Amino acid sequence: MKRFPLRVAKACFSLFALLSADSFADDGKAVLNPETSTSATESTEARSQFRFSAEYNVEGTYIGGSDVARGRHEVNDFDESNAVVNFVFTPRISIGVLRFGAGYERYSFGFDHGGGPLPNTLQAVNFVVGLDTQFSDSILVRIEAQPGIYGAGMDDLDWDAANVPFVVGGTYIYSPDLQFVLGVGVDVNRKYVVAPGGGVRWKMASQWVLNAVMPTPRLEFSMNPQVTLFGGAVIKSQTYRMSDDLGTAAGQPELDRAVLTYTEIRTGVGFDWKIAPAITLTAEAGYLPYREFDFHRTDIRYHHESGAAYGTIALHGAF
């Protein structure tokens, strides 16, 4: 009986990065036929150079000046820097592929004119503990937890900001060209603790792929085995515990130690360039049409007022 290798599912499992924010998402370019896939061959070549298998992602984004508001209170013309670093070991065992690693993400906001109760920094330091396994020839399942510290500045990365978001989801492989994804993410600090998600990946033609799987739905065009052009969106959302005096300093003490859900959506175009079997360079540029700071337990929300241009550059791969 033919069994699809678990790396087949990586193109679809990026859904779960949205449901639990910091999990690593594969670049999603592998054609889902290991016998004929150039990407699969390159991945095998990359892994053969090392005594262990792993995935990594190093990413930086800059967003220009934009605005949010709550009632008459506006926070104007602040920029943003976002940095992400992930490294996950992926050893194969008898029941599937283990996922064990760590991640770090930081948002820095330039509130030149004062951000009021909004934090200047959001940070997350987390472990990744999970398993990819196969229930049948066509059904692949991922279970993954990301225990860590999700807070504001460095002084706020303490055990009071600990959280353990996790995801459970699966991919149904209808054919090498069509796969469906369904899953749920659980975060006890979120307004809606359980969040469903899903998507579809469809190879429409030899060079075109509709990769409509959250959090990076996009349309891809493969110029050649090394370069892929794409256009689409990036959706990011995560909960963070605020500092002891964030609200008091801004005259709103109810926000001290409050939980903040930060959400943003980016839309843009870019390219993936496979420099080497284990190294892919991604560059992307576009516009931020939506952002929100939501202290949902205190009914205080700063909604999007105006967006800004952004640029992203990343190095990622598997070996």
pLDDT in tens, 70-98: 998 899 999 999 999 999 999 999 999 99
Just give the CATH number of 6-318: 2.40.160
pLDDT, tens digit (0-9, with 9 covering 90-100), for 128-173: 999 999 999 999 999 999 999 999 876 666 788 999 999 999 999 9
Alpha-carbon gap, residue 306 to 68, rounded angstroms = 7
- What pLDDT is stored for residue 49 in this prediction? 58
Please report which confidence band the pLDDT of residue 55 belongs to, taking 50, 70 and 90 as the band edges. Answer: very high
The predicted model gives 249-262 an average pLDDT of 90
**Pairing state between β 227-241 and 73-89:** unpaired
- What pLDDT is stored for residue 13 in this prediction? 44
Rounded percentage of the chain residues whose pLDDT exceeds 90 = 71
**Is pLDDT at 38 greater than 50 in this prediction?**
no
DSSP 224: S
| Better pLDDT: 30 or 125 | 125
**Is pLDDT at 31 greater than 80 in this prediction?**
no
Per-residue CA distances from 188 to 170, 224, 238 (Å): 22, 44, 11
Q: Which residue, 55, 52, 51, 50, is CA-closest to 30? A: 55
DSSP secondary structure string for all residues of 158-203:
SGGGEE--EEEEEEEEEETTEEEEEEEEE-TTSSSSEEEEEEEEEE
Q: What's the alpha-carbon Rg for the chain, to the nearest Å?
A: 20
- What pLDDT is stored for residue 155 in this prediction? 66
Helices (H), 207-295: 246-249
**Domain spans of the chain?**
6-318
Per-residue CA distances from 296 to 109, 245, 288, 301, 303 (Å): 20, 18, 22, 7, 12
- What pLDDT is stored for residue 249 in this prediction? 80
pLDDT, tens digit (0-9, with 9 covering 90-100), for 298-312: 999 999 999 999 999
Question: Would you state the structure tokens that stand for residue 81, as one six-digit string?
Answer: 């820097």
Residue with token string 């303490």: 158
**Is pLDDT at 197 greater than 90 in this prediction?**
no
Q: What is the Cα 142 distance to its own chain's centre?
A: 15
Question: Would you state the structure tokens that stand for residue 185, as one six-digit string?
Answer: 């993410």
Q: Is 274 helix (H, G, I), strand (E, B) or coil?
A: strand
How much is the mean pLDDT over the chain?
Answer: 86
Most confident region among 44-48, 227-231, 251-255 by mean pLDDT:
227-231
Q: Which residue, 299, 246, 291, is CA-closest to 120? A: 246
Structural element, H or E, at residue 43: helix 38-48
| Better pLDDT: 305 or 30 | 305
